Each structure stands twice: as C-alpha cells, then as structure tokens.
C-alpha cells in the first residue's frame, strides 16, 4: 500500500515538473503574471527562453509618454475626470495665454497649466504590451481620467486614457485611444489631473505683470488717490491728492503698495445669475492697475458678511467676483492712511515776504506811474 502511494506521488511530482518546464518557464511576462523573483533567479532557461527574457528586459526600459518634435507645442488641452464628472477644455490663445473654454470662459491659471504640461511631457511609460483580456479588465473601458490634446504640428486630437491599478508595482494601466497596445504609468499620474474648475482658473484679481505696473488709482466716494511710476529712476510718486503731487514714496512704501495690490485674489466666482443679482450696484469706487497701454479696472461693490468678502466686478466682465474682505480692506485703508501720513508731513505753503521799503520802485508799473506824474 505504501508503495502505491509513493508511486502516485512520484507520478504527480513528475507531471507538475513537466508542466512547469513546458509552460511556466516559457510563458511571457504579463501584467497578471504571478512568477516570483526567486523563480526567475533560479530558473535556467533554454537559449530560446533567454532571448525572450532579454526582449522583455528591453521592454522594461522607461520610454517617454509623449515626445514633442522640434518646435512643437501643445495648443489645446482637455481634462475629463470621469470619476468625479469634471470636464474642462483649454486652449492657448496665439501662444500668449491659456484660456479655459469650458465649462466657463475665463483665463486659466498659467502656473497650474504649465505644471500639468511639464508633468505630461516628462512622464515615462513602462512595459508596453498587447492586452490578453478585455479593456474592462484593465479599467480602460470606463477610464478614470481622459486627457485630450492638440499640438501646433498635429492635425487631429489625441486622447490618453488611464484605468485601474496594476497588481504588480505602483502603476496604473493606460493606453492611447488610437492604439491597441496597453502600458503602465506611475500610479500618481492620474491624481495630478483630478482638479476642480476653480483650481485651474486664474484667481489673480489684477493680471498685469509686476514689471509693467506703472499706475495705481483708487477713485472712491471718500476721495481719490493715484500713484504713478515715472522719471529716470522709475520712482513711485503721488499724483492725487493734488496736495501731494510729485511727492515720492519711499522704497518700502512702493514695495508694500504694489505687492498688496497684486496679491489680491479671487475668493469665489459669481458665475450664477442669482449671485450677481445680490449685488447689482458696484458703487463703492474703482480700483485701477495700469501699465503702458493696458489698464485693468475693478469696480467695488458691497460687502457680504456671510461670505466675509466684497463683491467686485471687472469693468469688461458681466459676472461678479468675490474678494476676501481682509486683504481688500487692508489695501484700501492702507493707501488712505499712507496719503494721510504724507499730508501730515507737508509744510504749510505761505506767500513770500516782500520788503516794504522801495517796493514802488521795484515794480515796473509803479515806475511808469511816476513818470506820467
């Protein structure tokens, strides 16, 4: 009896060994492969299998996800976060600035868009292979993120789809919509594109570049204040109030007022008609930032205590914006206080004193009168 059991065990052992040699050692490595590193180290493949292993090793070398040709730039970008039902479209207006075209029309955050493009252009893909299962098995039938782009040297649009996580390594499956091949991308790649519409809008209240700024003005019911940068040293000085005309600002004051102005950001966008109906009158004054021929005017509205913000509206836009109350109040009170301090330091203007003796002789018309007499 014991001899029969031993014989059966020997047959099973031989059968398993034959199966492993014939199938497991020669099977290509796929995303679902369960082979351990120990098995790969200990295996002694035939020359044919060694060639296949070498070929697979070459496939493991990271390659660029997308390579731009000479002079080629991305001019149109679409980000669809299908997991959170977010769809955004952007285009680069004549290579000058990125604009959001959907779901709202507005300037895009230039730094955020540049960051996404750098990530897109620097990402490497791994292990490109023909899928052994359906796209659904890789999470690519209903992708998590879909990224479309168009370039200055590309006639059509191309789309990248990212799917589920790979069972091996810190990767996700991905593919190009016009290709039947699948590949792996770093697992953190899709998350970098899961952004809100708000996060990719340009939230600067004034979009003028700091170096170009040469005029700041506040025209309010409480008074008018205007600063200009001019002269050989490009120094800031007062233009209004008129009593402060040409009075220069200190370097510290100049830095403070320009930095505070350009640091004003949009807290929220009043894109809905109901939001704008709350504040139809923008009668709190006008705040202007200008440089050369470019002037940006923001009309100040009422304060919203609930949102801890002021309603404002750019002169050329129909929809309002909300700017945090603290920073805007600080700027408005700061420029008034700066003017008040400058006025306090002024010396009173008095008429020059004239000598009493010989006054008639010093005046031309008096001399004419004496001659006539």
Q: Are residues 69 and 196 in the same domain?
A: yes
Q: What span, in angstroms and rounded, lies between the C-alpha atoms of 295 and 255?
A: 20
Express each pLDDT in 190-223 by its tens digit.
999 999 999 999 999 999 999 999 999 999 998 9
Q: What span, in angstroms and rounded, lies between the C-alpha atoms of 74 and 70?
A: 12
Query: Is 355's pLDDT higher than 80?
Result: no
Residue with tokens 């080629």: 72
Contacts of 163 (CB under 8 A, 6+ apart): 135, 138, 139, 140, 143, 144, 172, 173, 174, 175
pLDDT-derived band of residue 372, with 50, 70 and 90 as boundaries? very low
Q: Are residues 291 and 170 in the same domain?
A: no
The answer to whether residue 322 sits within a structural domain is yes
Q: How many alpha carbons fall within 13 Å on the CB side of residue 31? A: 27
The answer to whether residue 42 sits within a structural domain is no
Q: Are residues 157 and 239 in the same domain?
A: no
Q: What span, in angstroms and rounded, lies between the C-alpha atoms of 143 and 185?
A: 14
Query: Is 13's pLDDT higher than 90?
Result: no
Q: How does the average pLDDT of the chain come out, rounded? A: 81
Angle between helices 325-344 and 251-262 (to 10 degrees): 160
290 or 51: which leads in pLDDT: 290
Q: Are residues 141 and 218 in the same domain?
A: no
Express each pLDDT in 249-284 by its tens digit.
999 999 999 999 999 999 999 887 666 665 667 889
Q: Are residues 175 and 237 in the same domain?
A: no
Q: What span, in angstroms and rounded, lies between the C-alpha atoms of 322 and 314?
A: 11
- The backbone torsions φ and ψ at residue 63, rounded to the nearest 5 degrees and listed phi first, read -125, 155
The answer to whether residue 31 sits within a structural domain is no
Express each pLDDT in 307-317 by its tens digit.
999 999 999 88
The answer to whether residue 56 sits within a structural domain is no
The answer to whether residue 185 sits within a structural domain is yes
Q: Are residues 224 and 191 in the same domain?
A: no
pLDDT-derived band of residue 319, with 50, 70 and 90 as boundaries? confident
Q: Are residues 171 and 83 in the same domain?
A: yes
Percentage, residues of the chain above pLDDT 70 = 74
The answer to whether residue 279 sits within a structural domain is yes
- The backbone torsions φ and ψ at residue 372, rounded to the nearest 5 degrees and listed phi first, read -65, -35
pLDDT at 75: 94
Q: What is the CA radius of gyration of the chain?
A: 36
Domain that holds residue 179: 64-200
Q: Are residues 223 and 274 in the same domain?
A: yes
Least confident of 30-34, 76-80, 226-230, 294-298: 30-34
Interval 299-311 mean pLDDT: 93
pLDDT at 194: 97
pTM for the predicted model, two decimal places? 0.72
The answer to whether residue 251 sits within a structural domain is yes
Q: State both tokens at 204.
A: 């600067």
Indicate the number of domains in the chain: 2
Q: Which residues of 337-347 are buried (b: 16+ CB within 10 A; e: fewer)?
A: ebbeebeeeee
Q: Are residues 260 and 335 in the same domain?
A: yes
């Amino acid at each position: 009896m014991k001899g029969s059991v031993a014989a059966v065990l020997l047959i099973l052992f031989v059968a398993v060994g034959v199966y492993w040699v014939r199938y497991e050692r020669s099977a290509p490595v796929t995303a679902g492969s369960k082979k351990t590193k120990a098995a790969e180290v200990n295996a002694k493949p035939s020359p044919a299998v060694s060639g296949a292993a070498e070929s697979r090793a070459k496939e493991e070398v990271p390659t660029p996800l997308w390579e731009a040709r000479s002079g080629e730039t991305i001019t149109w970008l679409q980000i669809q976060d299908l997991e959170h039902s977010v769809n955004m479209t952007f285009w680069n207006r004549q290579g000058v600035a990125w604009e959001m075209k959907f779901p709202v029309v507005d300037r895009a955050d230039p730094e955020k868009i540049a960051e996404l493009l750098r990530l897109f252009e620097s990402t490497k893909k791994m292990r490109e292979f023909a899928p052994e299962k359906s796209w659904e098995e890789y999470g690519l039938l209903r992708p998590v993120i879909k990224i479309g782009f168009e370039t200055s040297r590309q006639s059509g649009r191309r789309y990248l789809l990212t799917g589920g996580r790979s069972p091996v390594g810190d990767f996700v499956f991905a593919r190009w919509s016009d290709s039947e091949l699948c590949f792996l991308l770093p697992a953190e790649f899709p998350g970098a594109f899961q952004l809100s519409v708000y996060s990719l809008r340009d939230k600067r209240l004034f979009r003028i570049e700091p170096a170009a700024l040469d005029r700041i003005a506040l025209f309010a019911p409480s008074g008018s204040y205007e600063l200009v940068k001019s002269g050989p040293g490009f120094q800031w000085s007062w233009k209004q109030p008129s009593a402060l005309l040409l009075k220069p600002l200190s370097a510290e004051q100049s830095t403070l007022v320009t930095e505070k102005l350009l640091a004003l950001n949009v807290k929220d966008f009043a894109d809905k008609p109901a939001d704008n109906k709350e504040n139809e009158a923008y009668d709190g004054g006008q705040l202007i930032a200008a440089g050369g021929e470019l002037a940006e005017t923001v009309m100040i509205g009422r304060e919203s205590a609930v949102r801890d913000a002021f309603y404002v509206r750019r002169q050329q836009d129909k929809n309002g914006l909300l700017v945090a109350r603290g920073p805007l109040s600080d700027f408005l009170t700061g420029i008034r206080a700066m003017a008040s301090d400058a006025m306090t330091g002024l010396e009173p203007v008095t008429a020059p004193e004239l000598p009493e003796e010989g006054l008639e002789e010093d005046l031309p018309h008096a001399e004419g009168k004496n001659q006539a007499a």
